[in-house]
């Protein structure tokens, strides 16, 4: 009997010992995995000495979690107060251009932990009805953020709307302005393609691009066609320069952002005085989509909407040549003003 009791005791001790060792091994593995799961962008030293203008570590968690809930209106005033969250006016605006890659640029900048984006286009400065609602209405359209983060919004119609430069100047004369451009003819065709798709969804017919881009009476480029006018970048920029110095603008190469996004994003980080945090880890090429997708962390990835990268219709080569010749002198002036040269035909 005694022998059986001793054997049973040894068996229980063995089981307990195994459980203890297993728990210890689990904890070691868990600590290791947690260490590997630290945020991609460490907070320490982000804005200078520790404790000085430093975003709390939890900012990264709230940015993907609670901030999302707050944007949906699911937060109480007490929660907002406790977490020291505010709705800030943007310190930078992507003002254009349409079909230049504004959405891609905004989403990619949102990889940076110090950036918070307005998810929707606000159309405050280019819409008279919205503008009449006042600056506080605009502020309340902004996402919640920490005071140390910067808010960015994008509304590509700003670039071509006459009243916008003065209106933005009155809000903040030192604001930073981002313009993303593509080769003008390609951008015009992309603009047309988006409108064409909308017509087709409604079972409506639409003119061919050639008929819109070329004046049938003169056989010259039709400057009344909005897609053409938008691609005359220098004409619009000159209007903005009446209010802002060129140093407050940064020109982003939209064509390069598609094929090689990281160098373009690093230039924007520098322009916005942000510490470099976006890395190649955050960007991976999706062969199926033919575009780079975004990796925020080990579990959260995001690709742009399927509407991005539409296949363009074939356009008569003589029309393409005519458009490129038309845009050429405007492009040269744009290079001269901005100090950035592109390899456009």
169 token code pair: 């100047």
> Is 48 annotated as belonging to a binding site?
no
**Is 182 assigned to a binding site?**
yes
Tell me the pairing of strands 176-181 and 92-96: parallel
Q: Is 51 annotated as a binding residue?
A: no
Q: Does 290 appear as a known binding residue? A: no
Q: What is the gyration radius of the CA atoms in the chain, in angstroms?
A: 27
312 annotated ligand-binding residue = yes
Pick from 102, 68, 75, 88: which is nearest to 142 by CA?
Answer: 88
Evaluate whether 94 touches 181 at the Cβ level (below 8 Å). Answer: no
CB 115 within 8 Å of CB 178: no
Q: How far apart are CA 311 and CA 314, in angstroms?
A: 9
- What dihedral do alpha carbons 149, 153, 154, 158 form, nearest 10°? -120
Quote the distance between the C-alpha of residue 251 and its chain's center. 14
State yes or no: 99 annotated in a binding site. yes
190 carries a ligand binding annotation = yes
155 is in an annotated binding site: no
**Spatial contact of 24 and 16, defined as CB atoms under 8 Å apart:** no
Q: Residue 162, CB half-sphere, CA atoms under 13 Å: how many?
A: 0
Q: Are the beta carbons of 62 and 140 closer than 8 angstroms?
A: no
Within 10 A of 139 (CB to CB), how many other CB atoms are there? 15
103 annotated as a binding-site residue: yes
Q: Is 270 a catalytic residue?
A: no
Query: Could you give the CA distance from residue 22 to residue 267 in angstroms, rounded to a whole number?
Result: 49
Does 102 show up as a binding residue in the annotation? yes
Q: Is 138 annotated as a binding residue?
A: no
Neighbours of 332 (CB within 10 A): 13
Q: Which of 99, 154, 176, 322 is catalytic?
A: 99
Question: How far apart, in whole angstroms, are the C-alpha atoms of residue 59 and residue 77?
Answer: 18
* 100 labeled part of a ligand binding site: yes
Is 139 among the annotated ligand-binding positions? no
What residues are designated binding site?
Answer: 99-103, 182, 190, 292, 308-312
What residues are designated binding site for 3'-phosphoadenylyl sulfate?
Answer: 99-103, 182, 190, 292, 308-312
Q: Which residues are catalytic?
A: 99
């Amino acid at each position: 009997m005694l022998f059986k009791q001793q054997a049973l005791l040894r068996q229980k001790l063995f089981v307990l010992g195994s459980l203890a060792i297993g728990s210890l091994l689990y904890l070691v593995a868990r600590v290791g995995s947690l260490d590997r799961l630290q945020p991609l962008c460490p907070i320490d030293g982000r804005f200078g000495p520790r404790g000085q203008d430093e975003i709390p570590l939890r900012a990264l968690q709230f940015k993907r979690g609670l901030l999302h809930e707050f944007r949906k209106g699911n937060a109480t005033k007490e929660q907002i107060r406790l977490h020291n969250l505010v709705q800030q006016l943007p310190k930078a605006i992507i003002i254009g251009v349409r079909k230049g890659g504004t959405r891609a640029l905004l989403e990619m900048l949102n990889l940076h932990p110090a950036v918070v984006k307005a998810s929707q286009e606000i159309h405050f400065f280019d819409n008279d009805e919205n503008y009449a609602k006042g600056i506080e209405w605009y502020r309340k359209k902004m996402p919640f953020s920490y005071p140390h983060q910067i808010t960015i919004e994008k509304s590509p119609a700003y670039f071509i709307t006459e009243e916008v430069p003065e209106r933005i100047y009155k809000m903040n004369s030192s604001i930073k302005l981002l313009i993303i451009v593509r080769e003008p003819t390609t951008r015009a065709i992309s603009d047309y393609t988006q409108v064409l798709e909308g017509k087709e969804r409604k079972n409506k017919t639409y003119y061919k691009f050639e008929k819109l881009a070329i004046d049938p009476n003169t056989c010259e480029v039709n400057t009344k066609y909005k897609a053409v006018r938008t691609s005359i970048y220098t004409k619009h920029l000159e209007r903005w320069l009446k209010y802002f110095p060129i140093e407050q603008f940064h020109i982003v190469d939209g064509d390069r952002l598609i094929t090689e996004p990281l160098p373009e994003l690093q230039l924007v980080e520098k322009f916005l005085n942000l510490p470099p945090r976006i890395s190649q880890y955050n960007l991976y090429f999706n062969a199926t989509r033919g575009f780079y997708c975004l990796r925020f962390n080990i579990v959260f990835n995001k690709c742009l909407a399927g509407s991005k990268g539409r296949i363009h219709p074939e356009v008569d080569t003589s029309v393409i040549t005519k458009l490129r010749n038309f845009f050429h002198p405007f492009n040269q002036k744009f290079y001269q003003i901005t100090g950035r040269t592109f390899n456009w035909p």
